[in-house]
Amino acid sequence: MASSLLRPSSSPLPTVCILLLLLLVSPPLSESSSSPSVLPSSLSAKKLCNSTPHPETCLKSLNLFVDINISPSILTFLLQTLKSALSEASDLARILGSAGAGVVENQRATLQDCWELHQISLSCLRKSSSFVLSGKKLSDVRTFLSAALTNRATCLEGLAAASGPAKETVAGAVAEAYKSVSNALSILSNVAPPPGGRRRGRRHPPGSISGSSQFPAWLSRRDRRLLQSTDEGNGYDPRSVLTVAQDGSGNFTTIGDAVAAVPNNSGDRTVIIVRAGVYNENVEIPSYKTNVVFLGDGSNATVIRGSRSVGGGWTTFRSATLAVAGEGFLARDIAVENAAGPENAQAVALRVNADLSAFYLCSFSGYQDTLYVHSFRQFYRECAISGTVDFIFGNAAVVFQGCAIQPRRPLPGQFNAITAQGRDDPNENTGISIQNCTVVAAGDFAGSATRTYLGRPWREYSRTVFMETYMDSVVDPAGWREWNATRKGLETVYYGEYRNRGEGARTEKRVDWAGHHLMEYDDAVEFTVEALISGDGWLESTSFPYDYPV
């Protein structure tokens, strides 16, 4: 439940008390910024609101500041905007909970998607307010707010395919409720600018952005050992190590049953060892199943296989064979497949909307929309990803290192696009970074004349970079492709290439969009583990290796 500080009140006295409290407790900045923490007299609440995406909503949130002669800090404005966002999100939860028969689902799980994602958004808003009040890292707040906006977009995508008398009302309520979230993210950018500025620090040898092989810092040494070795939970409490085996030799015969046995909201790791076999099931790790680890017997031995698809009547979000929403998820030596086939359109193998998630020595195979890197911070090391159309897509802040990216043969008349990044707000800290990987055609591609592109802009502010990656001739000389005939976003995307190699890495015939960049060293540093996913703060705990500049 939200604290009373964050609940709206119709009485003027509590509102004044809230204002005084916000002014008194506005915390110091916890990360360096060139922006002042106190607004100069020339910058009023009105001027600040005019710089946000939804000025009228902002003014409504800050109406008390507009009418009095004070100079609060920007963080005070941010806290008040978050208070409004949480109040509006709470109202939306009631609307979603009662939508019922008023929305006719043409794709299964449309309302379930909206409800579950909105609960995660509510948690993001509560954590954001708490982090700002306590002076914790503002980069985490940007992650939470970016994820909340991604949840909004996913819900609206599902509702667009629905019908029924309440559809437009529900969709309008979703769009309206998230305006203050977007405004909060905009105000936050005045406190700590979004990624993209130059960083100072020791340089690697000229041109190189790869450091020594190691895991990002948000993975503990214990987790690194767990993922990097053949350790199967040695040293963990035996009660926190579960085994799944189809022959009955373990604790469970299905992965879903093992996940159900994991304690809810646990701060400790639960290790699930999945023995060799093909597990024909759709597995979900809900948001309340935290710090789960999957350890397989190898990506050629332990396989999770499903066949849900949009063609089969599911939403893209719910089509995933393995769906991960629980924070701190790790996996090693697992294969995840969606066997729906190319004729069934979008069919996700793995979907991840869990913060601080990492995958090592795994494989993900499908056709359209194989890997849904939906939101939050993610890391993939030495994994294999194969597919056709938009087969790495979503709006996470995600880094791939040492991965094998394998375009497959699509349906006749289709083209391949490796990435479709979904950033639709310029203040979001999201993007896809592909570093030191290989782009080589899969075996079934041989002899195909299909054009394969590095990516196309799913959203207006899409960000994707390929760095120090080998590309064979499967990559089309243009490199990138428009989303559709409108050519929207070609000026506002950020598509970058840095020191790639191979026939497909030649840049003489690349697109001439304003949003395409041949990157310099300082540009590339912005898309490393340390800069893009705050990897120095969590990956060390995973035991996965990772590279990042000093």
Which tokens in the block code for residue 409? 């043969």
With CA atoms as reference, report the closest residue to 281 among 337, 239, 229.
337
Report helix angle 167-177 to 74-97, nearest 10: 160
Whether 390 sits among the annotated catalytic residues: the reply is yes
Residue 238: helix, strand or coil by DSSP?
Answer: helix
Give the span between the Cα atoms of 357 and 549, in whole angstroms. 21
Opening angle at CA 93, ends 91 and 99, nearest 5: 105
Which tokens in the block code for residue 355? 């913060």
- Listed in sequence order, the DSSP H helices in 137-213 are 138-160, 167-177, 179-191
Put the strands of the sheet holding 384-387 in their side by side order. 277-280, 302-306, 335-338, 363-365, 384-387, 404-407, 438-439, 470-471
Give the span between the Cα atoms of 120 and 122, in whole angstroms. 5
With CA atoms as reference, report the closest residue to 406 among 449, 352, 370.
370
Give the span between the Cα atoms of 30 and 139, in whole angstroms. 10
Residue 394: helix, strand or coil by DSSP?
Answer: strand
Q: How far is CA 159 from CA 6, 91, 112, in A?
A: 29, 18, 11
With CA atoms as reference, report the closest residue to 464 among 428, 493, 426.
493
Residue 292: helix, strand or coil by DSSP?
Answer: strand
Catalytic residue among 113, 140, 390, 476: 390
Opening angle at CA 373, ends 110 and 479, nearest 5: 115
With CA atoms as reference, report the closest residue to 417 among 458, 473, 363, 377.
458
Catalytic residues: 390
